[in-house]
Amino acid sequence: MALNTTNPTGTEAWKNLQKHFDAVHGTTIQDLFKQDNSRAEKFNIQWNDFLVDYSKNNISQETVSLLLELANSIGLKNAIADYFGGELINQTENRAVLHTALRAPESAVINVDGENVIPEVYEVKNKIKNFTEEVISGQRKGYTGKAFTDIVNIGIGGSDLGPVMAVEALQFYKNHLNTHFVSNVDGDHVNEIIKKLNPETTLFLIVSKTFTTQETLSNSETIREWFLKSASQEDVAKHFVAVSTNIQKVTEFGINPDNIFPMWDWVGGRFSLWSAVGLSIALAIGFDNYNQLLTGANEMDEHFKSAEFDKNIPVILALLSIWYNNFYGAESEALIPYTQYLSKLAPYLQQATMESNGKSVGRDGKPVNYQTGTIIWGEPGTNSQHAFFQLIHQGTKIIPTDFIGFVKPLYGNKDHHNKLMSNFFAQTEALMNGKTAEQVQAEFDKQGLAADKASYLLPFKVFTGNKPTNTILVQKLTPKSLGSLIALYEHKIFVQGVIWNIFSFDQWGVELGKQLANSILDEINSNTVKNHDSSTSFLLNHFLKNK
Ligand code: F6P
């Protein structure tokens, strides 16, 4: 069934939320805690190794009930069934959206166009397993008979961000293989990577769902040329493998058909790390760990499908985000993992979130009359505390923030971990409570600060607090918990798209720039600037004259 086309702002539930917002928006989170000291017990969800505390938000039980009413009135339950059931919910591309099938158990039956896709999924999984085992063990060798030492993933967007994020996140679990990622069409990027490599011991993974992406094809050609300086044409088969839906184009590139890992049009690029797009992850951490990543995601899928909405982590986080985005007018959300391992989580979720929900036309084909996709940004704590936290604490904008932390460190360094986590807890407390003028004055009194200095400084030192945060506290960063965490955010994105009445799984907005770049490239190559606006012509002429 197609997803419905309900404009959320026309629902009773939305109108009730608006009335509720008008009545309560002056109330602070501090007030709410004063009124009810048991908020943390009420507004938390514990699931597997996850504890999600969402009590430090501008919400009451009534707010949550009204948000849940909104989800129900939009038909979220049915939408979830359509999503997992392989319905063609990516309507503008006439495709199912089934990254969840990639992590489903072998016994599952998931039909696309009347055919169960699970056997194919497992066929490719087995291929990944055998391939990774051969490379890691050294059984599969390069053209001079040496085992592989380095893996290069050549891809961009969803064919890069997921793998690079997961490999970085799971480096504690990594084996001896060195992994590199080439994405940008900037030739300096590929050259910086090449200079570290030995062609005899390097395996290249060309990852492109469409196999038409300019960046990936250019980088692949440059790398093949470099490779052929020391190896012969038939050696290409030993060193290049591809992940793609476009088997014809891959074969034309010269890749041995045995070295092609297929994927399917029902896997969106930004949700594809669970497919063979994650080959670099499987190579870096071994197949068993990679499988754990998938298991963790599958467990979150089950939670999302079956938990009541008021105890459903992705649903609750999505609704809170809608509350701030559409009623408080928040423009962005920050994501602060308290582990250096998750330094690439924000860029990864930027694509997942913003390419999915950065839409302004409703599923009814009409422009929306409300805000959609949130802007996502973030960096690990504690580094980010010393960078942009000033603005979150004392700036003029409301920035709901997710804090993601882990109870146990991986190397067991208690001293560091206690310091890290004390910052983690301190920040959400400080963001909520702030510091009153009385508290600041009491500190001045204690320091014996002169009255004139104290009265001058006081306003700058006050923190209003009342800044909303979610705390996601996970037992330990493992392949499995990472899988669950990523799936959590994937489903949050889905819920928001359903409620905002937009199509989350297409990305027409990236096409125009690509088209224009192609015609400008012709102009640059032929040194002739054609018809543009005066600014673009001026810039192009300057470039051509000075290059
Ligand atoms: O940027 C647009 C996009 O289509 C993304 O959605 C996708 O992840 C990326 O380009 C790469 O595409 P491909 O895997 O086909 O090379």
Instruction: Name the nearest CA neighbour of 100 among 269, 243, 246, 275.
Output: 275
Looking at the DSSP bridge assignments, the partners of residue 261 are 243
Interface predicted TM-score (ipTM):
0.97
Per the document, the length of the chain is 547
pLDDT in tens, 254-263: 899 999 999 9
Q: Is the CB of 156 under 6 A from ligand 1?
A: yes
Beta carbons of 211 and 250 less than 8 angstroms apart: yes
Query: What confidence tens digit (pLDDT) does each residue in 49-64 have?
Result: 999 999 999 999 999 9
**In the predicted structure, residue 1 carries a pLDDT above the cut 80:** no
Per-residue pLDDT tens digits for 64-109? 999 999 999 999 999 999 999 999 999 999 999 999 999 999 999 9
Nearest to 165 by CA among 24, 278, 79, 258: 278
Long-range contacts of 162-165 (CB under 8 A, 24+ apart): 162/270, 162/272, 162/273, 162/277, 162/278, 162/348, 163/207, 163/273, 163/277, 163/278, 163/279, 163/280, 163/281, 164/344, 164/348, 165/273, 165/342, 165/344, 165/345, 165/347, 165/348
Closest alpha carbon to 121 in 111, 136, 131: 111
395 C-alpha to ligand 1 centroid (Å) = 36
pLDDT value at 40 more than 90 = yes
Q: Answer whether 208 contacts ligand 1 (Cβ < 6 A).
A: yes
pLDDT, tens digit, for every residue of 7-38?
Answer: 999 999 999 999 999 999 999 999 999 999 99
Instruction: Give the Cα separation of 381 and 388 in Å (integer).
Output: 11
For 489-544, what is each residue's pLDDT tens digit?
Answer: 999 999 999 999 999 999 999 999 999 999 999 999 999 999 999 999 999 999 99
Q: Residues 212-241: pLDDT tens digits?
A: 999 999 999 999 999 999 999 999 999 999
Q: Return the pLDDT at 301.
A: 98
Arithmetic mean of pLDDT, 351-371: 98
Catalytic residue among 168, 200, 333, 355: 355
Residue nearest (by alpha carbon) to ligand 1 atom 5: 157
Whether 194 contacts 204, CB under 8 Å: no
pLDDT of residue 468: 98
CA of 542 to the centre of ligand 1 (A): 31
> What's this model's pTM, rounded to 2 decimal places?
0.97
First to last CA, the chain: 54
Average pLDDT taken over every residue of the chain = 97
In the prediction, which pLDDT does 184 show?
Answer: 98
Strand ranges in 36-193 using DSSP code E only, listed in sequence order: 44-47, 50-53, 111-112, 115-116, 150-154, 178-182
Query: In 3D, which of 150, 153, 203 has the Cα closest to residue 174?
Result: 150
For a pocket test of ligand 1, which of 215, 510, 515 has the largest count of ligand atoms closer than 8 A to its C-beta?
A: 510
Cβ atoms of 269 and 455 closer than 8 Å: no
Q: In this structure, which residue's CA is closest to atom 10 in ligand 1?
A: 157
Mean of the pLDDT values across residues 405-411? 98
In angstroms, the Cα distances linking 46 to 51, 319, 455, 473, 480 are 5, 18, 46, 10, 16
Task: List the one residue out of 429, 410, 382, 383 whose CA is nearest residue 475.
Answer: 410
Residue 335 pLDDT > 90: yes
Q: Which of 386, 446, 545, 547 is catalytic?
A: 386
Q: How confident is the model at residue 2 (pLDDT cuts 50, 70, 90)?
A: confident
